[in-house]
Amino acid sequence: MSFELIDGLSMINVNSTVTLAFAAILLLLGYYTKDKVKLLDKYCIPAPVIGGFIFMFVTWVGHLTGSFAFTFDNMFQNTFMLAFFTTVGLGASYKLLVKGGKLLIVYWLIAGVVSIFQNTLGVTLAKIIGLETPYALLASAISMIGGHGAALSYGTTFGEMGYEVAPLVGAAAATFGLISAVLVGGPLGRRLIEKHNLKPDEDAAFDTSVTDINVGLAEKLSSLDVIKNVSVILISMALGTIVSGWISNIINMGFPSYVGAMFVAVILRNLNEKLHFYRFDFALVDEIGNVMLTLYLSLALMTLKLWELSGLIGGVFIVVMAQVLLVSLLAYFVVFRILGKNYDAAVMCAGLCGHGLGATPSAIVNMTAVNEKYGMSRKAMMIVPIVGAFLVDVIYQPQTIWFIKTFIQSLN
């Protein structure tokens, strides 16, 4: 960690270890604040969001006053995300996927249709308010579902086509979407649960089959058992990055490493159910995943730059606000009913707001906040990450490209 004074600006350079410590402290601060401010707990605002937002506003003050700024070495952020999605994959056995199969397909189609609605809304509003179509599409599914990565990629492409502020607009829209995702999802899930007096179905065969993975093995895990479980996570992460690299070369475009890791983990988990080469412990893997997720989100939020929202000017702001309203209304009035009007449906709606406006980790942290308050929904925690991390792209990417080719003259 070092300090520099550059033209009156105190630049605080934070190395990777201190950055990680910052994230941990902010996470603990988030839990403390949530415990003390009952309104935050009541509306299921996630703890990493609270801590991250506090620091985000501190850095914003430094930017506004021109007095101080932070630079972080965020080398652990992607590793934590990779580890989290790996634990999701390890939690998805073939038996569980079969039991949740119909609901998974329904949710997948819903997420895909929502992405089509987002682009349709963006293009329609662009014509009404006179906004150039590339900016409208950047403020639609590209940044809402694709996140910062897609916004940067498409923004750069549009910038090369002559829309110079496209990268700024994309970054601003993705930032706004991520913030909205973690602020809307929890309260919406809570509202559905409270309004319909929903309770988790603790006797459901699906939940029982998850929690009783090691039935008959009630003895305490040995140190070697813990090491084996952690080793499988690390091996899955490594193999997943290799597989993702191969797929990227085959399809000639980027393929997320966390998706590869998740599916390698699914394969190893199901091989283990047949071959029993180690003692899988769901509770341990689940807790590791939760720690990885909360630290990842704390890192992601504390390094967000609120001043990037300056890109939300005029019509772009109208489009992103409309996207938040669209996803919220669809989740509350339509998706909840399609998914069955039960507790699982309410938690999945909180997740939809997360990855429909921000990113899959936002979906999981929304659902985790709801689960911590009202009880666990295993179906939601298995289905939403798989759809949000990968399956939705099967629908979202092709239809987004169709919108670009159809409505942006330069690509016709």
Predicted confidence at residue 203, as pLDDT, reads 52
Contact 34, 55 (CB under 8 A): no
Predicted confidence at residue 311, as pLDDT, reads 67
Task: Give the residue extent of every domain in the chain.
Answer: 75-411
Predicted confidence band of residue 125 (pLDDT cuts 50, 70, 90): very high
| 184 vs 254: which has the higher pLDDT | 184
pLDDT tens, position by position, 361-380: 899 999 999 999 999 998 89
Predicted confidence at residue 327, as pLDDT, reads 98
Mean of all residue pLDDT scores within the chain:
88
Predicted confidence band of residue 211 (pLDDT cuts 50, 70, 90): very low
pLDDT at 213 over 50: no
Predicted confidence band of residue 216 (pLDDT cuts 50, 70, 90): very low
pLDDT tens, position by position, 139-170: 999 999 988 878 888 888 888 888 888 888 88
Mean pLDDT of 307-314: 74
pLDDT tens, position by position, 398-409: 999 899 989 886
Main-chain dihedrals φ then ψ at residue 275, nearest 5 degrees:
-100, -20
**Whole-angstrom distance, CA of residue 140 vs CA of residue 158:** 14
The SS3 assignment for 100 reads coil
Predicted confidence at residue 402, as pLDDT, reads 93
**Whole-angstrom distance, CA of residue 350 vs CA of residue 48:** 16
Predicted confidence band of residue 412 (pLDDT cuts 50, 70, 90): very low
Q: Which of 320, 298, 296 is nearest to 309 (CA)?
A: 320
The SS3 assignment for 403 reads helix
| 102 vs 234: which has the higher pLDDT | 234
